[in-house]
Structure 1
Amino acid sequence: MTVTVRYTCPHCKAVTSVERAPDLADRSVTKLAQPGWEYATPDDDDLESADGIAFVCGEDGPVTDLEGESIDGCGRPYYLNFVRYERGVELEPDPPTYGGPRFDFER
């Protein structure tokens, strides 16, 4: 069983759709790839083994505006990041993609 899930490009707000398993847990959509994460393409058959999906806006299939009208994408990459686990513990993205800015100051 698959479901159609829509994602919005963080660069230009174009919307793309992906057919995927309903049990994959999304964490975030980011402009940059998470360091060390393995990304599949939207048409890969085995999305479950990837850490997320790498999109190229407008090149991975048709895109629409927020109202559903067909448009051209901006051609820039963006990334869907899945929730990841290691030994049953949820891993945080590096850097975290939520909670506002992160400032790590060393003395």
Structure 2
Amino acid sequence: MVGGWRPGQGNRAGTVGGLLLGAHDPDGNLQTLAPRDRKTSPFAGDVPRDRARGARWVTPDLVGEVVYRQFTPGEHRLRHTAWRGWRPDKDPADVFVPEQPAR
């Protein structure tokens, strides 16, 4: 689910530079995210300062699909992500934290 985004910089100014979970929105779909603006983070825990800097928070009612190579157990972050697109067929209540592989 999308909980925030960071504005693009440089030649990407005026578009979405990235989504907070490390996903990237290549379409720069500001029309979808702008109406969902909010002043505070929708996440239950604190977002690290380096990730929150410049973030624009949104109401988390959209589901997007990302593929990733790693889910870090301690930090609960997705690594090496790629944005696949919006999933209007999915409800936010259906989104769960990835399962950890057995050790």
Q: Normalization by structure 2: what TM-score?
A: 0.23
Whichever of the two has the greater Rg, that structure is: 1
Greater helix share, structure number: 2
Q: Structure 1-normalised TM-score? A: 0.22
